[in-house]
Amino acid sequence: MKRSLQNLFFQYIRTWSLGTLFLVMACLPTQSFAQNKEYASQQDNGKNRATIVLGLISGGYNPTSGTAVANVENPNNAVDGNEATHATMIAKNVSILLVDYSGEAWLQMNYSNQVSSNTTTYIKIDQPTSTGFNLDLLETVGGLLGLLDEDILITEVYNGNNLVSSSEVHSTIARDADGNVYLAVTSSEAYSGVRIKLRSQSNLLGLSLGGGLNLKVYDAFYYSDAADCGKPAYTYYEDSGLNIGLLEFQNRNLENAVDTDLNTYSTLKQGALLSASVAGSKSQIFNFLAPSSETSTLNIKFSLGSQGLVNTDLLGSAEVIMYNGSEEIYRRSLQSSLLNNTDILNLLQSGNPVTLTFAPGKSFDRVTIRLSSPVGLSVAGSALQIYDVERYDDSAGCTNPEIAALPTSTENPFQSPSCANGLIDFDNVDFANRAVDGNNESFTTLYADSGNLLVSNPTAGFVEMDLGQNLPANKTTYVRINYDKDVLDRLLGGSLGKLVGDLANSLLLGNQFIEVEAKKGNISVLNGTSSIAFEGISNGDISLVQDNIGRYYIAITPNADYDRIRITNHVYAVLSTGKKASLDVYNACFEIGTDSCFAANFTSYRGGGVGLNVGNISNVGVKDAYKAINENSSDYSEINLGVAGIAANVYQSIYFNQPSQPNDKVKIRLAIEPSSALSLDVLGRYKIKFYKGETQVGNDETLQSGILNNIDLLTLFNSGGIVELEFEPDDTFNRVDIGAESIASVNVDTEPLRLYGVERYGDNCPLTITESPFENPACATELIDANNVDNLQNLFDADFDSFATLKSGAGSLLGINNYEGYVELGYDQVVPAGTTSYIRIDFEETILEALVSGSLGNIVTGLLDGLVLGDHFFQVEIKDENSNIINSASSNQASAGGNEAIRVVQDKQGRYYIAVTPAADYKSVRITDATNSALGLLAQPNTMNVYGMCHETNLDACSAAFATSYEYNGVNLSVNDLSGAGVTNKEQAIDDNTQNFSEISNGTLGVGSSTKQWIFFNSPSNKMDIAVIKFKTQGGGVDADVLGGLEIKAYLGNTEVAQFDFQNGIINGVNIINLLNNNQMVELSFRPGVSYDRISVGIKTLVGTSILSPINLFEVERLCGGSALITNPMIYPKVD
């Protein structure tokens, strides 16, 4: 059989200048799984000769009985099942009686049973040896595979006596890790035997009378079963676009990519590619013995050996391609390998090998790693070095060590969701099935890049999900996503967000964009793109919304029936410069619940107007939109029209999953903090609108129309406090818009509007009572004493959001008639020492932000804007059962050393508490609100809200973190020292939004100073429990010394019990220095080995080292049991 230059499987053929293949068998996979060999048990052999006339073969090869021209010695050794014994095939060029002959020996090895189609037979051979040739055989024919190309070795496949067509047979050469050579023969039809022919003549060898070839043949076998996991069965080399003069015959060490040594590698070099006059490529192909499952993953460990700086051109020339048989099922340029939104280029710049995980979501049995080059163009870099290729499958018992266990599902924003449960199609994605696995915290990643100017075209990633049923027109499906946060924040504002981007001369929305399509079968019923903020859609609506903890969703509402959703990730660039972006898709769900009392669950905002321009656009919009619907009644969004000018508007939309019932009302909590006296003209700009779908219900409502009892509007809002408005729309509704508009006659600054909450209620939907965040709370039940306090009864009711208000004032000049408000709350039993009680409070937020940076009395808490902490302050006294004060602190005092018994903390919703943890038994706590009496007539009266006091009685060691705070430590800290230091968004390290994080920075603090975030649990852990800490840095400059400044510690109460030892930065084989330098996520499991109830994560400035970049802290979770490991969740790359 003539071996034509075909693709590995034969269904389609490519035309190449010269293609060379070299194959290596993997003999010892890392994962050990049984693979049974079935040996050929019968043989047949023979001898042929051809006449040579004028130096050419004449009349073909015909049988001969003589052994002078050809022979097969010991043929039974090739079918004895013993790979140590061999037959010998001999072919010669001889002259007999003045006639010249070329010899051909053949040996056919037959199986006792028919072999199924697409099964590969491996025939163990030695490299042929020559006699009488004065040349290097392999050098002459272009390597081992040249023996097939030149018809020196010929393979044929038989089914009984019938010869299988050569077009259905593929043959190549293999070598295992021990240096043994194999012929690998695959037939697309069933067969029973394989024949080898050895000839002594070829076009390249020419005729050399007296010369000949010997070939040792050991055995023929195939594998009757195949492992789902482990290394490829064999690998080979392939190139195209090259002629033999350009080929490099050095050892490429292909077997190193499939052996058990993870520190050795094979090499694909670009040298010859750069000399080609046509586009060329070099590939290493890896074949598995059987197709994988659809959930299998693949790890490839590689590096780029570069003569210069590794760049996007080199990455663009390298790609990974996967096949199932002849079908290409996956293709990714390394250029588009933006794993977890991190550029792989940064990882490779270190020169260290990188392990990437690929999860095609489809069955595959072959992987190609290809290095390409365009016509005559040089690409920076010289070699692709492949260390390891290995396949994993959880269902087969071989777990991928690079992938952490799936995250636990979190509470979703629906009453009763129905989610997509099947995949229609997908491409250029990893973990496609995770978009439909029912876990709202697992995701598929869609990749896209703009292509490479030299070698690659743009690519887009998409996933199409089956919703499982036909949805009626105007039914909304929500697709949770994660993307570039700047893009998401802009898209949340719809056309206003786009306008902000356009006016800021930013092309971000257009350069990378999301395409959304709703379909009924194969027919598209709705299509839109984020590049135009999903505007201009005539057959439905697409918008970006947030749920009550800030997660982002694409809300898709076609005006026709539909049953599937398709999401596509695109990147565009005028020039193909390698720009890339990834998009995470978590799920696609719609509401099937029918509870018309269900709380608002999504929000977005919109705006626009002819008066918007570069000078006024920056402050227009809605800040922290989701806080208007979250569980923290003290939180708010901020709606700001600013000085947007004539005919501008901005509205925040609040969505309910069901229409209201007739006569339902809406309670809206608002506040305006005026910088100057408000006027009725300014207040008249604020409007409330009600909608059912896209249809407005009734007329616009004003603030005045929502005020009860005819209270004066100006007086009410000029107070700066929270105002509750009540509206009763004319008809049922499922959306409320709150915002502001400017008109031609009033073009002055509009004060920001704070939106604290929107609640719908009626005869069948009573106002809800907020539940306690404690699992089993014990709360204060006794009022010991009180003065200047309103609504004392709220301290003891079941509503966690109700509060008493403490009032204080400076009185007249010199403090005459000054007054304080206080309340003392008591338990009905003595609380043991070391138990933390939480007193939820509201106070000036700027002061609370300062106080949460340490325990009351910490030196730093007095450094915010000079004396601002001393103008309005509160005092805390902890008392025992005899009313003796055992601990006290005041928020206006600053004394070195601090007070570890009294802190200000936040829970995961961002609510503020005074946390008291005395070292002695206690029974009551007194809170006093005070105003600096020295201010006299200059001071306005002040207030403080107190909600109640509770402590946790559930001591389950597996309970989640409850609260957080942070603090500074250092010598002689001053306000100037704190530049840039601190922790922002503290509560996001413990909230339920896995995309959120706090940021810990040491700023410019000097040597010996530190900033750390505290994570508090309400119960001690078990001794062997671990804390999982998920974090990353903003990248750069981390070495072992700098890493020493990252301090992760465990405490029991105020006592430090353990500190994580980063050693040299290599933990359990993971080089976390490289991960941190390249902005990679690290999931660190810390087992203190003792009981603990606090974790601190901090940065300390050390002598003689650089300052560690700010830490993004995503999560601190306590797990009961487990082993201490570092893993990389989802597909975060791990660097060895």
Instruction: State the DSSP string of 898-961.
Output: --TTEEEEEETT--EEEEE--SS-EEEEEEEEEE-GGGGGGPPPEEEEEEEEEEE----TTPPP
Q: Which residue has the higher pLDDT, 725 or 19?
A: 725
Torsion, Cα 87 91 95 100, to 10 degrees, reads 150
pLDDT of residue 939: 59
Secondary structure (H, E, C), 750-781: ECCEEEEEEEEECCCCCCCCCCCCCCCEEECC
**634: which DSSP letter?**
T
Whether the predicted pLDDT of 246 surpasses 50: no
Q: With beta carbons less than 8 A apart as the criterion, state whether 1116 and 988 touch.
A: no
User: Is 47 in the same domain as 154?
Assistant: yes
User: Is 117 in the same domain as 93?
Assistant: yes
CA distance 151 to 154: 6
Residue 305: CB atoms within 10 A of its CB come to 15
pLDDT of residue 733: 96
pLDDT of residue 655: 97
Q: With beta carbons less than 8 A apart as the criterion, state whether 391 and 321 touch.
A: no
For 18-55, strand residue ranges (E) read 21-25, 37-39, 42-53
Q: Looking up tokens 């099922």, which residue turns up?
A: 329
CA distance 463 to 236: 33
Looking at residue 317, which CATH number applies to its domain?
2.60.120.260
Q: With beta carbons less than 8 A apart as the criterion, state whether 1014 and 966 touch.
A: yes
Q: 69 vs 2, 129, 131, 132, 198, CA distance in Å?
A: 22, 16, 13, 14, 12
User: Is 587 in the same domain as 643?
Assistant: no
User: Is 305 in the same domain as 445?
Assistant: no
CA angle 246, 250, 254 (to 5 degrees): 110
Confidence of residue 5 (pLDDT cuts 50, 70, 90): very low
Whether the predicted pLDDT of 868 surpasses 50: no
pLDDT of residue 29: 40
Q: With beta carbons less than 8 A apart as the criterion, state whether 321 and 370 touch.
A: yes
Residue 29 maps to a domain: no
Q: How many domains does the chain have?
A: 6
CA distance 181 to 169: 19
Of 1088, 1112, 1108, 1090, the C-alpha closest to 1099 is 1108
User: Is 677 in the same domain as 586?
Assistant: no
pLDDT of residue 1094: 95
CA distance 597 to 657: 9
Q: With beta carbons less than 8 A apart as the criterion, state whether 1001 and 982 touch.
A: yes
pLDDT tens string 72-131: 999 999 999 999 999 999 998 887 666 788 889 999 999 999 999 988 899 999 988 887
pLDDT of residue 535: 84
Q: With beta carbons less than 8 A apart as the criterion, state whether 1002 and 1011 touch.
A: yes
Q: Which helix (H) or strand (E) holds 556?
A: strand 552-558
Residue 1028 maps to a domain: yes
Residue 1063 maps to a domain: yes
**815: which DSSP letter?**
G
pLDDT of residue 1104: 61
CB burial class (10 A; 0-12, 13-18, 19+) of residue 683? buried
User: Is 609 in the same domain as 695?
Assistant: yes
Confidence of residue 248 (pLDDT cuts 50, 70, 90): very low
Q: Which residue has the higher pLDDT, 131 or 583?
A: 583
pLDDT of residue 167: 92
Q: Which of 287-291, 474-478, 1101-1105 has the lowest mean pLDDT?
A: 1101-1105
Q: Which of 39-48, 309-318, 389-398, 455-464 has the lowest mean pLDDT?
A: 309-318
Whether the predicted pLDDT of 588 surpasses 90: yes
Q: How far apart are the first and last CA of the chain?
A: 46
Whether the predicted pLDDT of 680 surpasses 80: no
Confidence of residue 362 (pLDDT cuts 50, 70, 90): very high
CA distance 743 to 760: 30
Residues 6 or more apart whose Cβ sits within 8 Å of residue 660: 596, 729, 732, 733, 734, 760, 762
Q: What is the mean pLDDT of residues 328-348?
A: 64
Q: Which of 358-367, 894-903, 1093-1102 has the lowest mean pLDDT?
A: 894-903
Q: Which helix (H) or strand (E) holds 713?
A: helix 713-718
Residue 533: CB atoms within 10 A of its CB come to 26
Confidence of residue 579 (pLDDT cuts 50, 70, 90): low
Whether the predicted pLDDT of 864 surpasses 50: no
Q: What is the mean pLDDT of residues 143-162?
A: 83
pLDDT of residue 78: 97
CA angle 1023, 1025, 1030 (to 5 degrees): 140
CA distance 325 to 100: 45
Q: What is the mean pLDDT of residues 419-446?
A: 94
pLDDT of residue 599: 95
Confidence of residue 854 (pLDDT cuts 50, 70, 90): low
Output the furthest CA–CA distance in the chain (Å, rounded): 138
What percentage of the chain has pLDDT greater than the value 70?
75
Of 442, 333, 440, 317, the C-alpha closest to 374 is 317
| Amino acid at position 924, single letter | S
Whether the predicted pLDDT of 426 surpasses 50: yes
Whether the predicted pLDDT of 451 surpasses 80: no
3-state secondary structure of 870: helix
Whether the predicted pLDDT of 1122 surpasses 50: no
pLDDT of residue 303: 82
Whether the predicted pLDDT of 897 surpasses 60: no
pLDDT of residue 331: 86
Whether the predicted pLDDT of 793 surpasses 60: yes
Q: Which of 117-131, 636-650, 777-791, 1092-1106 has the lowest mean pLDDT?
A: 636-650
Residue 21 maps to a domain: no
pLDDT of residue 1008: 72
Residue 1120 maps to a domain: yes
pLDDT of residue 840: 98
Of 217, 213, 224, the C-alpha closest to 195 is 217
Pair type for strands 782-787 and 477-482: unpaired
User: Is 585 in the same domain as 683?
Assistant: no
Residue 5 maps to a domain: no
Q: Which residue has the higher pLDDT, 522 or 454?
A: 522
Confidence of residue 204 (pLDDT cuts 50, 70, 90): very low
pLDDT of residue 747: 47
Q: With beta carbons less than 8 A apart as the criterion, state whether 516 and 553 touch.
A: no
Q: Which of 265-279, 444-458, 495-509, 659-673 has the lowest mean pLDDT?
A: 495-509
3-state secondary structure of 645: coil
Whether the predicted pLDDT of 890 surpasses 70: yes
User: Is 611 in the same domain as 531?
Assistant: no
Of 987, 967, 958, 943, the C-alpha closest to 1054 is 967
CA distance 628 to 756: 5
Instruction: Tell me what percent of the chain is helix, strand and coil, each rounded to the nearest 5.
Output: 10, 45, 45
CA angle 358, 364, 368 (to 5 degrees): 70
Looking at residue 115, which CATH number applies to its domain?
2.60.120
Whether the predicted pLDDT of 20 surpasses 60: no
pLDDT of residue 719: 67
Highest mean pLDDT out of 28-42, 956-970, 1095-1109: 956-970
Considering 907, 929, 952, which residue would you say is the last residue of a domain? 952
Residue 782 maps to a domain: yes
Considering 718, 736, 761, which residue would you say is the last residue of a domain? 761
Confidence of residue 342 (pLDDT cuts 50, 70, 90): very low
CA distance 359 to 354: 16
Considering 952, 975, 1000, which residue would you say is the last residue of a domain? 952
Q: Looking up tokens 């959880």, which residue turns up?
A: 394
User: Is 433 in the same domain as 386?
Assistant: no
Q: Which residues pair with 926 in a beta bridge?
A: 824, 877
Q: What is the mean pLDDT of residues 584-600?
A: 96
Residue 642 maps to a domain: yes
User: Is 835 in the same domain as 860?
Assistant: yes
User: Is 547 in the same domain as 612?
Assistant: no
CA distance 107 to 76: 10
| Amino acid at position 144, single letter | L
pLDDT of residue 929: 95
CA distance 104 to 90: 8
User: Is 88 in the same domain as 138?
Assistant: yes
Of 230, 170, 233, 254, the C-alpha closest to 37 is 233
Whether the predicted pLDDT of 247 surpasses 60: no
pLDDT of residue 207: 47
Q: What is the mean pLDDT of residues 916-943?
A: 84
What integer best gives the mean pLDDT of the chain? 80
pLDDT of residue 54: 67
Q: Which of 431-435, 1007-1011, 1118-1122 has the lowest mean pLDDT?
A: 1118-1122
Whether the predicted pLDDT of 2 surpasses 50: no
pLDDT of residue 469: 96
**694: which DSSP letter?**
T
Domain span including residue 575: 417-591
Whether the predicted pLDDT of 164 surpasses 70: yes
Whether the predicted pLDDT of 941 surpasses 90: no
Confidence of residue 380 (pLDDT cuts 50, 70, 90): very low
Q: With beta carbons less than 8 A apart as the criterion, state whether 473 and 559 touch.
A: yes
The model's pTM is 0.83
